[in-house]
Amino acid sequence: MRLVAAFGLLTLSTVAHAQTVPMPPDATVLHDLVPTGTLRAAINLGNPVLAQPGPDGPIGVSVDLARALAARLGVPVAFVTYPGAGAVSGSAGAGAWDICFLAIDPKRAEGIRFTEPYVLIAGSYLVPAVSPIRSLEAVDRDGVRVSVGRGSAYDLFLSRALTRATLVRAPTSAEAVAAFARDGLDVAAGVYQPLAAYAAAHPEVRLLPGHFMEIPQAMGLPVGRPAGAAYLAGFIAQAKQDGLVRRGLAASGQDPELAAP
């Protein structure tokens, strides 16, 4: 993991609906969200829809949200970067970060309190062009090996959903695609956007039509911080309503239509 310091520069506009506007933070909120005096935001670089590495630190919609939250709280922000979502969720109780940006999942919710989603993305399958697998349903068959990023939202989901296929776990989502190609695996599961980009550059593979899950991306914080959780819920509601999420997606080259309603 890598720590990149920065100061929050963005502010959020006011909105008409008072229920979506977070109140100015009190001492309890600051204790829950900024126990060290700096807002430490865990950034998953394994999902390019949310964040990408940049020359001066990470960029993307999750980075923009962290900066905006820090500005509202009146504190500096530091980015703690991880190569995959599993590493973020696995460190929820370690005290390394204060907020995170992850897909909502029941297993993760044991240690992380999530807001409502701010982005909705799809989980898709990649197969060799010559594969006999033509549908989502055909993936769950005996002998089918599905490459996934360990601890990703779709790894957690498919661990529950697939009963006959075998999951082959790689350390990160990017490495799962590399293992699929290198080891001759039958299927790669992942976020639609990077799989579609890979398929466009590699004619020997194709995407299966449709998607096997909707992946709701949310902000979160470790459980046991109720004042911070309530404040974060109001913050993300306002960020969606005033267009910050859509602008952050567009600014980092992502489809603003992925913003959750």
Residues 85-123 pLDDT 10s: 999 999 998 999 999 999 999 999 999 999 999 999 999
What is the average pLDDT value for the chain, to the nearest integer? 91
Q: What is the pLDDT averaged over residues 219-233? A: 97
* pLDDT of the residue at 25: 81
Which alpha helices (DSSP H) does 52-210 contain, by range? 61-73, 85-90, 153-161, 173-183, 192-201
Same topology, domains 2-120+216-258 and 122-213? Answer is yes
* pLDDT of the residue at 19: 39
pLDDT at 20 over 50: no
* pLDDT of the residue at 93: 86
* pLDDT of the residue at 23: 57
If phi over 0 gives left and psi between -120 and 50 gives alpha, with beta otherwise, what is residue 108?
A: alpha
Residues 171-218 pLDDT 10s: 999 999 999 999 999 999 999 999 999 999 999 999 999 999 999 999
6 versus 240: the higher-pLDDT residue is: 240
Residue located via tokens 């594969």:
131
Burial 64-78 (b: 16+ CB within 10 A, else e): bbbbbbbbbbebbbb
pLDDT at 74 over 80: yes
Domain boundaries, the chain: 2-120+216-258, 122-213
Take residue 178 and report the two structure tokens written for it: 């590399």
Take residue 50 and report the two structure tokens written for it: 């949310």
Residues 32-59 pLDDT 10s: 999 999 999 999 999 999 999 999 999 9
Distance CA 183, CA 170 (A): 12
Assigned architecture for domain 2-120+216-258: 3-Layer(aba) Sandwich (3.40)
- Judged by average pLDDT, the poorest of 17-31, 50-64, 71-85, 132-146 is 17-31
Distance CA 177, CA 222 (A): 30
8 Å CB contact between 33 and 73: yes
8 Å CB contact between 72 and 11: yes
Say yes or no: domain 122-213 is CATH 3.40.190.10.
Answer: yes
pLDDT at 161 over 60: yes
The pTM for the full model equals 0.83
Diameter of the chain measured on Cα atoms: 60
* pLDDT of the residue at 16: 33
